[in-house]
């Protein structure tokens, strides 16, 4: 059986299966809320319709804690809340809240979140999050999914069709990759530290 950090944190013999299910649900909701909060901390950039946010790191760290299925579920719930019109997406003077946001230039990034979470969580379930170097690798794989989805969608969106792959990379990859990799290097240190605190690293 694959073990996640969440499994270790809720592994109390006295708890029933129902209690553990509620704990998992609470953890999923918590990561969803963190994703919403991270979306509100956004910095618009004048040369691209894609804002700078901390969401990718929340997606990846949350998935490492929850595992593949629950990590993906947390992000799917985030998207579902956004589609209903709740103001969970990053604030924007140009891009509306609601389902239309997924059709805009940032839609590819948003739709990639559940997939990226599944990838990072799948690797975490196999122990990648227990050592710093492999935690970095797991998160790089997840981040690659986010950028692949985002840049590919920019090519399909009106901005991308007018400027092709070079324009999409200039708008959605080059301005963000250095900062995201730096955040990733910091975030990857969280998981081995948490494993040491729980005593379940090895």
Here the tokens at position 14 are 């006295």
Q: Which residues contact 22 (CB under 8 A, 6 or more apart)?
A: none
pLDDT at 10: 82
Report the predicted TM-score, pTM, of the whole model to 2 decimal places.
0.91
Domain spans in the chain, listed from the N-terminal domain onward: 5-198
> Where is pLDDT greater, at 187 or 112?
112
Q: How far is CA 84 from CA 38, 58, 68, 88, 99, in A?
A: 19, 22, 25, 10, 7
Task: Please write the tens of the pLDDT for every residue from 116-172.
Answer: 999 999 999 999 999 999 999 999 999 999 999 999 998 887 544 556 888 889 989
Flag whether pLDDT at 91 surpasses 50.
yes
What interhelical angle do 190-198 and 132-156 show, nearest 10? 140
Alpha-carbon span 36 to 32, nearest angstrom: 6
Q: Which residue has the higher pLDDT, 19 or 145?
A: 145
The architecture in CATH of the region 5-198 reads Orthogonal Bundle (1.10)
Question: Could you give the CA distance from residue 67 to residue 122 in angstroms, rounded to a whole number?
Answer: 6
Residue 60 near residue 117, CB atoms below 8 Å: yes
């Amino acid at each position: 059986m694959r073990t996640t950090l969440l499994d270790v944190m809720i592994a109390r013999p006295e708890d029933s299966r129902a209690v553990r299910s509620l704990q998992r649900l609470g953890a999923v909701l918590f990561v969803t809320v963190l994703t919403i909060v991270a979306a509100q901390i956004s910095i618009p950039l004048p040369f691209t319709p894609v804002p700078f946010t901390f969401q990718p790191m929340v997606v990846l760290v949350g998935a490492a804690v929850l595992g593949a299925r629950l990590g993906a579920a947390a992000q799917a719930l985030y998207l579902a809340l956004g589609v209903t019109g709740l103001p969970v997406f990053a604030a924007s003077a140009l891009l509306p809240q609601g389902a239309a946001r997924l059709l805009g230039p940032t839609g590819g990034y948003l739709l990639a979140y559940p997939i990226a979470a599944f990838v990072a969580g799948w690797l975490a379930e196999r122990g990648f999050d227990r050592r710093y170097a492999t935690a970095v690798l797991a998160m790089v794989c997840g981040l690659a999914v986010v950028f692949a989805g985002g840049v590919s969608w920019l090519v399909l969106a009106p901005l991308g069709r007018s400027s092709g792959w070079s324009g999409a990379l200039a708008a959605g990859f080059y301005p963000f990759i250095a900062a995201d990799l730096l955040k990733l290097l910091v975030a990857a240190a969280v998981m081995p530290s948490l494993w040491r605190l729980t005593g379940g690293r090895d």
